[in-house]
Amino acid sequence: MATRPLPTDALTTAQAAARLGVSTQTIQKWVDQRLLDAWRTLGGHRRVSTQSVETLLASRQAQLASAPAVPATSTDQNAAQIMVVEDDSIEAELISEILSALCGDRARVLLFNNPFDALLHAGNSPPDVLLADVNMPGMDGVAMVRHLVCNQRLSGTRIALVTHFSRDEVERLGELPQGVLYLRKPITHAVLSEALPFLNR
């Protein structure tokens, strides 16, 4: 990351995080991945290009707007919002069908096939429940939930990791944050009903 004088349109890491609805740790990760243009000032402080933040936000919002909720879930804006982050379309469809059976029209299920879009959406529209796979491209589920729990906007979100991995295998990727549920695949009606009893009809 280059050192250069501070342009007038630069944002601090905290300001960029607030604009995108994610944690400062997530902004730092995206800078490292060159998803955002950033540099250090002559004083050594990190700054993020306002234009790159707005470009990223606009492109992701356009993608999210074109991604409909799972069919047969509620269109009621007061319904609980459940996010499923799963890159395997078959697994995602199975989980959404189980959630529909559990919740009926009391919940709206949203599917995301990558953690990047999920982080942006969750930060701007905090869900009531978020279920995330562990093995995903670009960022594993453990890293993703760490970013989520750092975001104060998501303090009321119930988060669960769903995976074929054993708990020991998951924790080799890093210790699960306090309060995050571990659910072993295959995910069934009984598994979700027991883990998230408030979803039951």
* pLDDT recorded at residue 70: 44
* pLDDT recorded at residue 77: 64
Low-confidence ranges of the chain (pLDDT < 70): 1-8, 60-77, 201
**What residues does each domain of the chain span?**
10-64, 69-199
Helices (H), 104-165: 115-124, 141-149
**Cβ atoms of residues 1 and 40 within 8 Å:** yes
Instruction: Note the pTM of the prediction, 2 decimals.
Output: 0.69
* pLDDT recorded at residue 25: 80
* pLDDT recorded at residue 66: 53
10-64 against 69-199: fold identical: no
* pLDDT recorded at residue 9: 75
> In the chain, pLDDT over 70 holds for what percent of residues?
86
Assign residue 104 a region (left: φ > 0; alpha: ψ between -120 and 50; beta: otherwise): left
CA dihedral 177, 178, 184, 190 (to 10 degrees): -140
**Of residues 162, 157, 156, the one with CA closest to residue 132:** 162
**Cβ atoms of residues 66 and 187 within 8 Å:** no
Q: Among 1.10.1660.10, 1.10.10.10, 3.30.429.10, 3.40.50.300, what is the CATH number of 10-64? A: 1.10.1660.10
* pLDDT recorded at residue 56: 82
CATH placement of domain 69-199: 3.40.50.2300
